[in-house]
Structure 1
Amino acid sequence: MPLAKSENLRDPPRPHPAPWPRMVVDAVPIDLIDRERAMSLIIDALGAPNPLVVASANLDHLHHFGGDETWAARPPAVSVGASPEGLRWLTLLDGVPLVRKAGALSGRDWPKLSGSDLIGPILEYAARHGTRVGFLGGTAEAHERLRTTLRARLPALDIVGTWSPARSELQDPATSAAIAAEIRSTGVEILVTALGKPLQENWIAQFGAETGAQVLLAFGAVVDFLAGRVRRAPKWMADHGLEWAWRLMLEPRRLSRRYLVEDPPELVRLMRRARTMQRGSMMLIHDANPARGIFVAPGRKAAITVVVVTHNSAEDVSRLIDDLRRAASAQVIRVVVVDNRSSDGTSDRVRLHPDVTLVESAGNLGYAGGINTALPFADPCDAVLILNPDLSLAPDSVTRLTASLRRDDRVGAVVPLILDEDGAVYPSLRREPSLLGAMGDAFFGSRLRRRPGFLSEIVYSPSNYLDAHDADWATGAAVLVRASVAREVGPWNEEFFLYSEETDYFRRIRRGGYLIRFEPSAVVQHRQGGSGTSPALVRLLTVNRVRYVERHHSGAYSMLFRSVVALSEAVRSYDREHRRTFATVVNRGKWRELPHASFDG
């Protein structure tokens, strides 16, 4: 088999540790990355503390592992903490059905990355850099042909060992442990494991770390391909998803059950049950012993002043402060916490951190009021980072937000990728409220998410959460604002006790001529426990949408918008809370009963 061309891969750069999307089919997460990133991750793993396993997911992979919940729990390629297995896992797209489904779900094309496509560039890199390679699996005859073939193509390649144990030996724990020890004794760095599914993945999970290899490639039939014992399908067949037919023609007795009996049900399951999520949740695996910084006091220059508004946030605020200490090890940070009269001991938790500036407000001032209370303590600084207390931060999220702000002077504020508690992407991006958007949301809600953008205020499309771009606004759980822009825009509008205050603030930033930048490489996870979801707050959210439009549009437009919002609640009036919200929207007198700023005494 000719080695695949590797232009632009001669010395792949270190991987960009930003999150990337994954397709999940039942318990199997599949990494959606391009060829260059895959190579970067593999080569970077040669110097990483935890070994990397690279597997290829096709319909056969889904057949064997779709019901295996341990697969979803295995640490991913971007993990920085040690795993019980001592391994990290990278699962690549291999198979045209999966490639097509991933494209449909994510809104962009992804390459098919089979082991036989990547093995050429990997071995070329190993030959250039003196990396020690071993092969586990295949027959002794295949290994002889393999050595002869590779000696001719890559004379500098250092093959330190080949092993061809019987299946019974690999299924015996004691014998497998001995094989792993023998492999370790050779000093192998890259171990090509060609045992076939599911044996190769299961063997690696149990014994891979004991081999001492830094990269373990679960690449199935690649030994036979490299040795020339099995011919690969012509390119036109592979490009049209017919490689299975070629292999079935060559090995009908061995592969007929796989392709004709086992794979068709997996194709149906793929079509019905695949979904996309962002890798960001996996970025929240922190180093066990990270460096932690000290926050600077008011009056001293800070790169970033972090503003946190709390209300009964005792269970959350200490975790957020701990995440911010990790960020403070890399840049100068000041932290200001405004507590809106919590009754659960939040202030006492904050006092355990003497370098945090605690401001206890005179009552429950709401989110905008709390932010405004903190702003006098912000300067001098370059940027203000506003965070909800119920967030977890990826280790480098603050650094990435700051870098995005510094790259472009036109950017006034940067917002991160937000994940929900389950690690899935939360649709945090929003469009400027409009009559058509309100009508689309009224009739469709969260259904028909692929409808035209002008028919929804919420940006649902997964493809909009993959790359950095400008947005109208985003939910206010996390936003970094350039300090000069914050001074120019002024205080947040306290007319909005909670909800729509960020809509108004982002609008004012845009009207000042600045951009709002979405930066998906910065990742936060939102537990959404800080503000609660009481019926009164749900009604406030709905009413504040109307208040915002009334503030920025004509009376006639606002009346139509309010009517559409009321209609949205009316068509859902089978639910009691929607009936109550409808009554509140249509009766302005009830607006005074909604949650609002309160003061003690």
Structure 2
Amino acid sequence: MLLFLDHYFLEGFMLLTPFRSAKLLGLNYHVINKVELFEVIKQQVSSNEPLNVYNLNVHAVNLSFTDLAYREVLNSGDLIFVDGAGVKLGAKILGLEVGQRMTPMDWLDELFSLATLHHWPLFLLGDETEQGIAFAEQLKKRHPECPFVGHHHGFFNRDNHENDAVVDLINQSGAKIVLVGMSMPIQEKWIAANAHKLTAPVKIATGAFHRVYTGNISRGPKWMTDNGLEWLYRLFVEPKKTWRRYVLGNPLFLIRILKAKLFG
């Protein structure tokens, strides 16, 4: 546990957090570990105070250079954890502290256990309806008592009454934690635009974790995931979908890091 406290002001109230913030290529992130993440989530659910949780990986960094609105959304996040060996390497090159790398698939099962223990209702937003059903079934198998209160697909108009209907559905479900499983930057932008309408205090951008959770997307062997090579496995099993993100994106990120190292 880190021995310092920083103060962050969120929506008119003060959140005391046992971690501090840093900045990588102009993007905020927090030096935090899994235990601290869970403690903050518990605090915000208990107090019913808002918490928007985003993650920072190489893809997010690259997107932020071409989508300035997305960059602004990321920097407005209440809690941004590092997800990806690439960001951790980039931070190391620049002499920045990172904290624990926390890919959602490594800790969401523990969150579901906590949700069961503390009776935190969960809602999944994103992907196709069939994927939501598959996730609900898998969650029921792994955590039979977990209060899962609903899911909704992600293919709705986010600018009109359809969006309002989705927000109403989530609110009526009584959810305390909303898992927003869309692609970057859609999920973060949706959370930022709708957080003030949602009664659920905690909103977490989770990407396609539910597809991995249900086995729809296979995850690399542990020796790869533990050594920063999960991207290589994804490239191997889904080359058409991921080649641009990894073959082009990873070198581009490294170039940006080296430019920052050399020129500030």
Please indicate, yes or no, whether the TM-score normalized by the shorter chain is above 0.5: yes
Whole-Å Cα distance in 1 between the matches of residues 50 and 98 of structure 2? 29
Q: Classify the secondary structure of the residue corresponding to 2:78.
A: strand
Q: Does the CA-based 8 Å contact 1:132-1:158 persist in structure 2?
A: yes
Specify which of 164, 178, 187 is matched with residue 177 of structure 1: 164
Q: Does the CA-based 8 Å contact 1:137-1:195 persist in structure 2?
A: yes
Displacement of 1:232 in angstroms is 1.3
Which residue of structure 2 aligns with residue 203 of structure 1?
190
Which residue of structure 1 aligns with residue 201 of structure 2?
214
Q: Which amino acid aligns with 1:17?
A: T
Matches within 5 A, 1:328-339: none
Q: Classify the secondary structure of the residue corresponding to 1:177.
A: helix
Q: Does the CA-based 8 Å contact 2:90-2:254 persist in structure 1?
A: no
Q: Classify the secondary structure of the residue corresponding to 1:135.
A: strand
Which residue of structure 1 aligns with residue 61 of structure 2?
62
Which residue of structure 1 aligns with residue 114 of structure 2?
125
Displacement of 1:177 in angstroms is 2.0
Specify which of 261, 267, 288 is matched with residue 248 of structure 2: 261
Which residue of structure 2 aligns with residue 356 of structure 1?
none
Aligned length: 244
Whole-Å Cα distance in 1 between the matches of residues 107 and 175 of structure 2? 19
Q: Kindly tell me: are residues 40 and 170 of structure 1, through their superposed partners in 2, closer, same or farther at Cα, counting changes over 3 Å? A: farther
Q: Does the CA-based 8 Å contact 1:170-1:203 persist in structure 2?
A: no
Q: Which amino acid aligns with 1:246?
A: Y
Confirm whether residue 155 of structure 1 aligns to residue 144 of structure 2: yes
Which residue of structure 2 aligns with residue 20 of structure 1?
20
Which residue of structure 1 aligns with residue 85 of structure 2?
96
Which residue of structure 2 aligns with residue 116 of structure 1?
105
Matches within 5 A, 1:543-558: none
Q: How much is the aligned-residue C-alpha RMSD, in angstroms?
A: 2.2
Matches within 5 A, 1:27-426: 28-66=27-65, 67-68=68-69, 70-71=72-73, 74=76, 89-106=78-95, 110-166=99-155, 169-273=156-260
**1:522-551 Cα distance to aligned partner (Å, 9 max, x none):** xxxxxxxxxxxxxxxxxxxxxxxxxxxxxx
Structure with the largest fraction of helix: 2
What percentage of aligned pairs have identical amino acids?
Answer: 24
Q: Classify the secondary structure of the residue corresponding to 2:127.
A: coil
Q: Kindly tell me: are residues 136 and 212 of structure 1, through their superposed partners in 2, closer, same or farther at Cα, counting changes over 3 Å? A: same
Displacement of 1:50 in angstroms is 3.3
**1:480-536 Cα distance to aligned partner (Å, 9 max, x none):** xxxxxxxxxxxxxxxxxxxxxxxxxxxxxxxxxxxxxxxxxxxxxxxxxxxxxxxxx
Whole-Å Cα distance in 2 between the matches of residues 264 and 25 of structure 1? 15
Displacement of 1:165 in angstroms is 3.3
Q: Which amino acid aligns with 1:25?
A: L
Q: Which amino acid aligns with 1:255?
A: T
Q: Which amino acid aligns with 2:102?
A: L
Q: Which runs of 5+ in 2 are unaligned?
A: 1-14
Q: Does the CA-based 8 Å contact 1:57-1:95 persist in structure 2?
A: yes
Whole-Å Cα distance in 2 between the matches of residues 55 and 73 of structure 1? 10
Q: Kindly tell me: are residues 222 and 18 of structure 1, through their superposed partners in 2, closer, same or farther at Cα, counting changes over 3 Å? A: closer
Displacement of 1:16 in angstroms is 5.9
Whole-Å Cα distance in 2 between the matches of residues 213 and 271 of structure 1? 41
Q: Kindly tell me: are residues 57 and 271 of structure 1, through their superposed partners in 2, closer, same or farther at Cα, counting changes over 3 Å? A: farther
Whole-Å Cα distance in 2 between the matches of residues 232 and 239 of structure 1? 12
Displacement of 1:124 in angstroms is 0.7
TM-score computed with the length of structure 2 as normaliser: 0.84
Which residue of structure 2 aligns with residue 361 of structure 1?
none
TM-score computed with the length of structure 1 as normaliser: 0.38
Which residue of structure 1 aligns with residue 7 of structure 2?
none
**1:76-115 Cα distance to aligned partner (Å, 9 max, x none):** xxxxxxxxxxxx5211111112112334545666321112
Matches within 5 A, 1:554-573: none
Q: Kindly tell me: are residues 107 and 89 of structure 1, through their superposed partners in 2, closer, same or farther at Cα, counting changes over 3 Å? A: closer
Displacement of 1:118 in angstroms is 2.1
Displacement of 1:164 in angstroms is 0.9
Q: Classify the secondary structure of the residue corresponding to 1:210.
A: coil
- The structure whose RCO (Cα within 8 Å, separation 6+) is larger is 2
Q: Which runs of 5+ in 1 are unaligned?
A: 1-14, 75-87, 275-601
Q: Kindly tell me: are residues 264 and 201 of structure 1, through their superposed partners in 2, closer, same or farther at Cα, counting changes over 3 Å? A: same
Q: Which amino acid aligns with 1:188?
A: A
Displacement of 1:200 in angstroms is 0.3
Question: Of the two, which has the highest radius of gyration?
Answer: 1
Whole-Å Cα distance in 1 between the matches of residues 74 and 60 of structure 2? 13
Q: Classify the secondary structure of the residue corresponding to 1:29.
A: strand
Whole-Å Cα distance in 1 between the matches of residues 24 and 18 of structure 2? 19
Q: Which amino acid aligns with 2:34?
A: R
Q: Does the CA-based 8 Å contact 1:23-1:102 persist in structure 2?
A: no
Displacement of 1:178 in angstroms is 1.8
Whole-Å Cα distance in 2 between the matches of residues 121 and 142 of structure 1? 21
Runs (4+) of structure 1 moved beyond 6 Å?
Answer: none
Q: Does the CA-based 8 Å contact 1:138-1:223 persist in structure 2?
A: no
